Amino acid sequence: VWRMCERTQAANMEDAFIDCAGRERGMYVRDTIIQYHVNLAIFGYHRLMRRCLELFGQSADTTGRFRIVYPNTGAYTYNDFSLNMVEGYRAYYDATGDDARIKADWPAIRTNLEYFHKWSDRRADLLLENLPELGGFGGDSETPKTLGDHSGVSCFFSLSYLLAVQSAVRLARAIGRSGDAGELERRAAALSASISKAFWDPEKRCFRDNLTGGTYSVHSNLFAVRAGIVTTEQLAGIRAHIADDLRTPFVNGYDPSGGYRVSSHFCFYILEALYKAGLADTAESLMRQGWGYFLAHGAKTTPEFFNMEQSLCHAWSASPAYYLSKHVLGIEFPEAPNLDVVRIAVQASSITEAEGAWPHPRGEIEVKWHTVDGRRVFDYVRAPAGVLLRGL
């Protein structure tokens, strides 16, 4: 799986991170963000992302939102992607400390968010409603509505907005915009409280998707985990719900003919939250079944979706390379953007041995471990001179 993702990523790095090697070859927001993370684990290259952000910083449409793909000649905007872009800037800053790029694009970041502030402020609780006039919210568009109904006042949409606001707080602090940061922090706190009050179901012990409470998708619940707004007690309920509901990416349990519980590209967010929730076993099962399906059908690169019908070299489906390197090797940067402090914190369940390296500005961080009678033993952990290792 890792090699398949590596091959896909290499094929989709040109003068920008492109969505696919064989179709439109466009620079799309979500594709760019996912690929930047995959690239961090494989190549550790930053100049391409800096160039992508420079372009996206110029991409605002007439509403002020980042466009879904750029450069282009149309006002092609999608709320999900516009919110994702703020998280993309944060990821870049955390990996580089490049505050100059953030300062240059801060007006665009702020204007993008102001579009959503305007709609959020229409309600006292600041929650976002999935309205056509707002531009709508697709979420994970491959998931059937029977598994996740994000219409109306939406938990998933509101959480996506919250994550963008949280990322903007981080960026504002980094570039010394304390006034903007304070305003955004207050909004994030109020929004967090509203989401917990409006959508948490104490009987189901998980978050409902909207105010009618008909569905309890893995997306809403895992985005609450990503946003860090769940209590220890709530996390226990969410873990039980997710472990039962996400045993496979396929609705019918074995292939894409019945649809997907989660799509291959959206697993970038799903896998992040699974590891954050301590569900390494579910994450490994998801990768083994979903990307195993690709391998079983002869794929050498990752297709666009969990099927063999669209683009067959689509790098937004290559996220397992990032999560396998980060969590199975256990390489974390707790003081980012200071990358000279590394914590080794392996998360593995069914995986019993691992060996690999993470690119670092000073060289490579190398890790090898295996298990003996269920106990993890490190063969070696090596870091370049000047890098402090913790967690062993």
In this structure, are residues 289 and 328 in contact, taking their beta carbons and an 8 Å threshold? no
pLDDT digits (tens, 9 = 90+) for 107-147: 999 999 999 999 999 999 999 999 988 888 999 988 998 99
**Residue 247 confidence (pLDDT) above 80:** yes
Nearest one of 144, 122, 95, 161 to 336, comparing CA atoms: 95
pLDDT digits (tens, 9 = 90+) for 142-160: 899 899 999 999 999 999 9
Q: Please enumerate in sequence order all residues whose Cβ is within 8 A of that of 118, keeping only pairs 6 or more positions apart, or say none.
A: none
- Tell me how far apart the alpha carbons of residues 150 and 139 are, in angstroms, rounded to a whole number: 8
Q: What average pLDDT does range 285-299 have in this prediction?
A: 97
DSSP 90-118: HHHHHHH--HHHHHHHHHHHHHHHHHHHH
Which residue type does 350 have?
S
Helices (H), 175-231: 178-199, 218-227
- Tell me how far apart the alpha carbons of residues 175 and 129 are, in angstroms, rounded to a whole number: 32
**Mean pLDDT, the chain, whole residue set:** 96
Stated as kind and residue range, the H or E segment containing 86 is: helix 79-96
pLDDT digits (tens, 9 = 90+) for 152-207: 999 999 999 999 999 999 999 999 999 999 999 999 999 999 999 999 999 999 99
Place of tokens 């870091």: 383
Answer whether the bond into residue 144 is a cis peptide, omega within 30°.
Answer: no
**Residue 74 confidence (pLDDT) above 90:** no
Nearest one of 131, 155, 167 to 212, comparing CA atoms: 155
Supply 140's token pair.
Answer: 């994970």
Q: What average pLDDT does range 28-33 have in this prediction?
A: 97
Q: What average pLDDT does range 13-24 have in this prediction?
A: 94
- Tell me how far apart the alpha carbons of residues 200 and 205 are, in angstroms, rounded to a whole number: 7
At residue 33, the pLDDT reads 98
How does residue 373 score in pLDDT terms, banded at 50, 70 and 90? very high
Nearest one of 139, 90, 134, 86 to 110, comparing CA atoms: 86
Q: What is the CA radius of gyration of the chain?
A: 20
Task: Give CA 251 to chain center in angstroms.
Answer: 22
Which residue type does 50 have?
R
Nearest one of 22, 20, 16, 7 to 36, comparing CA atoms: 16
**Residue 73 confidence (pLDDT) above 80:** no
Work out the percent of the chain whose per-residue pLDDT is above 70: 100
At residue 213, the pLDDT reads 85
Q: Cβ of 238: how many Cβ atoms within 10 Å? A: 25
Q: What average pLDDT does range 55-60 have in this prediction?
A: 96
Q: For residue 189, which phi and psi values (nearest 5 degrees)?
A: -65, -45
Helix 99-120 vs helix 178-199: angle between axes, to the nearest 10 degrees? 40
Place of tokens 């012990």: 205
Nearest one of 318, 324, 217 to 268, comparing CA atoms: 318
Beta 200-201 vs 206-207: how paired, if at all?
antiparallel
At residue 141, the pLDDT reads 83
Nearest one of 54, 86, 61 to 76, comparing CA atoms: 61
At residue 367, the pLDDT reads 98
